[in-house]
Amino acid sequence: MGEPVISLRGVRAELGSRPVLRGIDLTVGRGEVVALLGANGSGKSTAIRTVIGQVPVSAGEIELFGVPRRRFNDWRRVGYVPQRTTAAGGVPATITEIVASGRLSRARFGVLRKADHEAVRRAIGLVGLADRAKDSVNALSGGQHQRVLIARALAAEPELLIMDEPMAGVDLASQEVLARTLREQVAAGVTVLLVLHELGPLEPLIDRAVVLRDGCVTHDGPPPQAVGQHALPGHDHVHPHAAHDAEPIRTGLLS
């Protein structure tokens, strides 16, 4: 394992008065791809939201690139993909406009130069939406929305990608594009921490899986092996029961 990019030690967090994280340890080394797995309500979304400072921590230490999170301000090194079903806001916006906001961490005073516009164009190309760059996001499918959100995170050319359920509600074609995009990023040396509901098409990329249960780490090691029919090559992990399991519960308190 390379030098730690993310390091959590004894992190506790509460939402309201309910403890969601009960002292978790997690280290992600440079170039690693780590998946956070667990049932709904296990605290996996909260865990990554503490890393980016969106959820206050009641105890423990968090470091990003070796710097305590409170003092960390080099956000251009981090690309974040929040858990969203849509990239749209209350006003129409094109894919380029939304992805460009991901470049602001590298733009001084919000002025995008030629190189910045090129980086935005590149990021849109990486997720296979180059021909639709000037389209309104309102015209996109759910999977394409997710691709826009990932392009937005990639626009800053980050060293670390943090993704919250990037595969949730994504059609098969978009899943393949996302898996390929991620594979290219990993090959280029990007570190990845992602929350997943199931390993799915990303399985071959994942170095390590951390399983959370009731706010505690119950497994930290190689990804759980798929067995039986799941292990067959070409198995696309679209289970008839997955939709039932995933959908009604995902309205959970953690999102």
CB of 34 to another protein, least distance (A): 18
Gyration radius from the chain CA atoms: 18
Q: Is the Cβ–Cβ distance between 47 and 22 less than 8 Å? A: no
> Contact residues for another protein (CB under 8 A)?
52-54, 73, 75-76, 78, 80, 82, 84, 87, 89-94, 97-98, 100-102, 104-105, 107, 110-112, 134-136, 139, 152, 156, 234
Q: Least CB distance from residue 229 to another protein, whole Å?
A: 10
The answer to whether residues 51 and 6 touch, using CB atoms and an 8 Å cutoff, is yes
| Location of structure tokens 């959820």 | 55
User: For residue 68, with 0-12 CB atoms within 10 Å meaning exposed, 13-18 middle and 19 or more buried, which class applies?
Assistant: exposed
DSSP labels, 159-188:
SEEEEESTTTT--HHHHHHHHHHHHHHHHT
Choice between 54 and 218, CB closer to another protein:
54
Q: Which is nearer to another protein, 228 or 234 (CB)?
A: 234
Q: Give the nearer residue to another protein in terms of CB position, either 30 or 106.
A: 106
Nearer to another protein, 114 or 134 (CB): 134
CB of 4 to another protein, least distance (A): 19
- Residue 168 DSSP class: T
Q: Which two tokens stand for residue 52?
A: 């980016």
Closest distance of CB 220 from another protein, Å: 25
Based on CB atoms, which residue is closest to another protein, 11 or 80? 80
CB of 1 to another protein, least distance (A): 25
* Cα gap 28→34, rounded to integer Å: 7
